[in-house]
Amino acid sequence: MTLAKLQGITLSGLSGSLIDIEVDVSNGLPSYSLLGLPDATLSEARERIRAAILNSGFNWPNKKLTVSLSPAWLPKSGSAFDLPIALAILMATAQIEEKRTIGTLFIGELSLEGGLRPIRGLLPMLISAMHHGFQSVIVPQDSYGEAKILKEMNAIALPDLKSVIAYLSGTQTFENPTLIDLKRSERTKDFSEVAGQEEAKFALGVAAAGCHNILLIGAPGTGKTMLAERLPTILPPLTESEAIEVAGIHSIAGKLNPREAISYEPPFISPHHSTTIPALVGGGSNSIKPGACSLAHNGVLFIDEATECSVGILDALRQPMESGAIGISRANQSANYPAKFILVLAANPCPCGKFSGRGRNCECSSHQIRRYLGRLSGPLLDRIDIRIKVEAPTRTELVSESKESSEIVRNRVLNARKIAAERFIGENFKTNSQIPPHLLRTRYRAKREAMSLLNELFDREVISARGYHRILRTAWSISDLSGESSPDRSAIERALNLRTGIDSE
């Protein structure tokens, strides 16, 4: 037999495409040709595969060897093709039988001695394989924990190429390893640790109820980071499908520990203010990897010292903030990743950080303050629903013990989300921040006096068209927290105050 065929999976974002792996062995000068737009990792696979086959006790063909990956127009990347290419070569040289491989997907990187090494993005590969009709997959032994996240797929974990061939030939049986899941450490942060800051905590509750973006402005040491770090503790836990989607993104980024149990806690991602645009939204030279905004999918993206970010960094978030997804295109490939997150920005009020603080003397001129806060562009601020000034707690607040825990606040948020879910039955969105503008003006209008106030503010050009709709969405979240059927004038006034820091008068 001189021709053999297997299938593999390549990823573009979270979606996978089936790749036909064809191997032809023919007479001619010994050579190895790889066709089908392979990346550098795939082009280097020849030596890995050759050494793995020889060190596993099999023969490398001393003939002309052609490996074709089709469709030819689709770029292929990664080392997950090592195992299926090696098996296809052994099939083409009649060292194993083709019928043993039918209906099974093979994924894994080969070491020089023939061992199977784990690869990035295994979980989304398995999800794609299942959608394409595969029910059985052979994976590296160290990746078994990740493979078992997808319960519908029959995952067989093997340590090396020799074991794979022994399994396929039926000469030896293998048992999957016994997993001892390392439980994730429980969150130790709690809202009860925050002294004072009642307005800021209320604002975070509104943000959690409706998935609204929030800006915290205050002097150093007033508790901005402390508040932001506790926002995930009041968010509802992820559903199983949401948790698997988040785990898939982290798998592609190489940040998923297969030995840890899958987490149902919303992720909290906090990139440094010196981060780059590719690190924030995704990218890369060889393969397109998810950025911080995708790693924060279904969770919180927190950027401290937001005014210290380089020009254009934060504005790169404007598109995913609107669409809930990020599309990245390069010369020869493109990828799309989900990016539905709550953005939390924290900033000092001025370069010295003392402006508007209690009992503090600011050393900055009005021009310096305007220039400093001007680093947050108008289009970005227009997409932030809640802006809160965080003041330092008083001595009385520091010693007070009447503080709500995260559990109490989370229960309120869960109840508000439940009210919203019942209201949005039949819609293609779940939270108030996702209500389309045309529905806010029709099906989900506020009460008459509330709409009159909004229309008046819009006519006076106090708010923009985007602000008009965002205030309405925030008012719906405030109403859900208070148990009201729809926003009234007081809810609109509270939402306006949270957005602009001004009252309606």
Considering only CA atoms, which of 23, 112, 108 is closest in space to residue 66?
Answer: 23
What long-range pairs does 84-88 form, CB within 8 A, spacing at least 24? 84/6, 84/7, 84/8, 84/21, 85/6, 85/21, 85/23, 85/45, 85/49, 86/49, 86/52, 86/53, 86/110, 86/161, 87/6, 87/164, 87/165, 87/168, 88/4, 88/5, 88/6, 88/21, 88/22, 88/23
Side-chain half-sphere CA neighbours of 389 within 13 A = 13
In this structure, are residues 234 and 409 in contact, taking their beta carbons and an 8 Å threshold?
yes
In this structure, are residues 219 and 349 in contact, taking their beta carbons and an 8 Å threshold?
yes
Element (H, E) at 66: strand 64-70
Q: CA 184 to CA 147: how far, in whole Å?
A: 18
Instruction: Tell me the residue type at 238.
Output: L
Side-chain half-sphere CA neighbours of 149 within 13 A = 30
In this structure, are residues 208 and 231 in contact, taking their beta carbons and an 8 Å threshold?
yes
In this structure, are residues 232 and 266 in contact, taking their beta carbons and an 8 Å threshold?
yes
- pLDDT the model gives residue 462: 85
Three-state secondary-structure class, residue 280? helix
Three-state secondary-structure class, residue 91? helix
- pLDDT the model gives residue 343: 96
Considering only CA atoms, which of 441, 477, 443, 444 is closest in space to residue 458?
Answer: 441
Q: Give CA separation, 438 vs 206, 385, 470, in Å.
A: 22, 18, 12
Considering only CA atoms, which of 148, 11, 23 is closest in space to residue 87?
Answer: 23
Three-state secondary-structure class, residue 404? coil
Q: CA 127 to CA 236: how far, in whole Å?
A: 25
- pLDDT the model gives residue 271: 94
Print the SS3 string covering 327-380: EEECCCCEEEEECCEEEEEEECCCCCCCCCCCCCCCCCCHHHHHHHHCCCCHHH
Supply the angle between the helices 465-482 and 489-500 in degrees, to the nearest 10: 120
Q: CA 167 to CA 75: how far, in whole Å?
A: 31
Burial of 484 (0-12, 13-18, 19+ CB in 10 A): middle
- pLDDT the model gives residue 503: 40
Beta-strand pair 282-283/104-106: unpaired
Domains recognised in the chain with CATH numbers: 3-169 (3.30.230.10), 191-414 (3.40.50.300), 435-505 (no CATH)
Burial of 284 (0-12, 13-18, 19+ CB in 10 A): middle
Model's pTM, two decimal places?
0.90
- pLDDT the model gives residue 359: 46
Residues 6+ apart with CB under 8 A from 312: 277
Considering only CA atoms, which of 207, 262, 199 is closest in space to residue 233?
Answer: 207
Which regions in the chain score pLDDT beneath 70?
1, 178-187, 285-286, 356-360, 402, 501-505
The percent of the chain in helix, strand and coil, each rounded to the nearest 5, is: 40, 20, 40
What long-range pairs does 317-324 form, CB within 8 A, spacing at least 24? 317/280, 317/281, 317/293, 317/343, 317/380, 318/379, 318/380, 318/383, 320/281, 320/293, 321/213, 321/383, 322/383, 324/434
In this structure, are residues 214 and 203 in contact, taking their beta carbons and an 8 Å threshold?
yes
What long-range pairs does 110-113 form, CB within 8 A, spacing at least 24? 110/45, 110/48, 110/49, 110/52, 110/79, 110/82, 110/83, 110/86, 110/161, 111/48, 111/52, 112/48, 112/51, 112/52, 112/55, 113/51, 113/52, 113/55, 113/160
Q: CA 440 to CA 492: how far, in whole Å?
A: 13
Considering only CA atoms, which of 273, 263, 329, 333 is closest in space to residue 297?
Answer: 263
